[in-house]
């Protein structure tokens, strides 16, 4: 028991000493922050444009803060929150040190941490933005090419070869019924989506329409309606299956001439 109490006393003493040291360290140094008001704050310490130095969590006794660039005063602020704006274009390009000195109501001076930054020209900021935005735009164009242009080229023309009433596999994208010709067709999975409707092209009549994904029951019903249409066309023409086969054989004789 005595050993436990002794260990607890040592732990509390060390924790109190650490807390007191942290408080003494934070009270002896102002925390200088940097915010971008308008301009470029790139990777690393590169900055360009309008920025503000400011004191984070200033002590209550702080009455005035003087701000410096390369140990040269650029101005002061006497009202909390203590801060000062500057323009990097007003200074030479290259590396600079930002710092501040605070003055308390009892006349004490408190130095801030030193922040090292690099003032770059506006052209460097533009180049960096182009390096970031360029690949993103290129990736977007590639996605558009893969998702829209290539499928459009591959499905160019009409699929008139599919017999009426053929049962389709509509896949993950589902299917829709063309409002122009009434035939069901599979929707492209990645296509122009406008909420509940899509802009898609019927592969049979070749026309573009606003279409909505139909249920499988409605799609099967449209396939049955195609069969009825096929029977109606057959009865009107009087053409039998054997006549149709004979006609296809006759037409095939001239395809390779």
Mean pLDDT of the residues in the chain: 78
Q: Which two tokens stand for residue 46?
A: 């590169």
- Range 184-200 average pLDDT: 76
| The pLDDT of residue 19 is above 50 | no
For 195-232, the pLDDT digits (tens) are: 677 888 888 888 888 898 899 999 999 998 888 877 76
- Range 82-86 average pLDDT: 96
SS3 state of residue 184? strand
d(CA 165, CA 162): 9
Return the C-alpha torsion angle 236, 238, 240, 242, nearest 10: -130
Indicate the domain borders of the chain: 26-124, 142-236
SS3 state of residue 136? helix
Are the beta carbons of 184 and 209 closer than 8 angstroms?
Answer: no
* pLDDT, position 255: 45
22 or 190, which is more confident? 190
Q: Hey, which bits of 57-196 come out as E strands?
A: 62-69, 72-77, 83-87, 94-104, 109-111, 115-119, 175-177, 184-186, 192-194
| The pLDDT of residue 237 is above 90 | no
Can you tell me which residue has the tokens 């069969």? 227
Instruction: Give the percent of the chain with pLDDT over 70.
Output: 66
Domain 26-124 adopts which CATH fold? Immunoglobulin-like (2.60.40)
| The pLDDT of residue 180 is above 80 | yes
Q: Which two tokens stand for residue 75?
A: 């101005």
Report, in angstroms and rounded to the nearest whole number, the Rg of the chain calculated over CA atoms.
38
* pLDDT, position 18: 46
Q: The whole model's pTM is what?
A: 0.46
Range among 91-95, 140-144, 151-155 with highest mean pLDDT value = 91-95
> The dihedral of CA 106, 108, 109, 113: what is its sign?
negative
240 or 41, which is more confident? 41
């Amino acid at each position: 028991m005595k050993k436990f109490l002794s260990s607890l006393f040592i732990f509390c003493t060390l924790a109190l000493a650490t807390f007191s040291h942290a408080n003494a360290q934070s009270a002896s140094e102002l925390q200088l922050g940097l915010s971008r008001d308008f301009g470029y704050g790139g990777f690393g310490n590169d900055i360009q444009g309008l920025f503000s130095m400011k004191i984070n969590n200033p002590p209550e006794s702080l009455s005035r803060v003087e701000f410096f660039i390369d140990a040269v005063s650029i101005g002061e602020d006497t009202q909390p929150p203590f801060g000062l704006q500057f323009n990097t274009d007003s200074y030479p390009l290259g590396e600079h040190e930002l710092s501040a000195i605070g003055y308390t109501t009892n006349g004490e001076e408190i130095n801030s941490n030193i922040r090292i930054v690099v003032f770059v020209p506006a052209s460097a900021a533009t180049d960096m933005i182009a390096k970031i935005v360029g690949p993103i735009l290129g990736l977007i164009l590639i996605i558009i090419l893969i998702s829209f242009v290539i499928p459009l080229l591959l499905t160019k023309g009409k699929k008139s070869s599919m017999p009426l009433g053929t049962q389709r596999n509509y896949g993950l994208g589902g299917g829709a019924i063309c409002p122009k010709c009434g035939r069901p067709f599979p929707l492209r999975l990645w296509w122009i989506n406008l909420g509940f409707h899509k802009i898609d092209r019927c592969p049979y009549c070749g026309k573009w329409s606003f279409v909505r994904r139909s249920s499988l029951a409605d799609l099967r019903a449209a396939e049955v309606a195609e069969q009825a249409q096929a029977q109606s066309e057959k009865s009107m023409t009087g053409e039998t299956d054997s006549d149709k086969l004979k006609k296809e054989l006759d037409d095939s004789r001239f395809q390779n001439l």
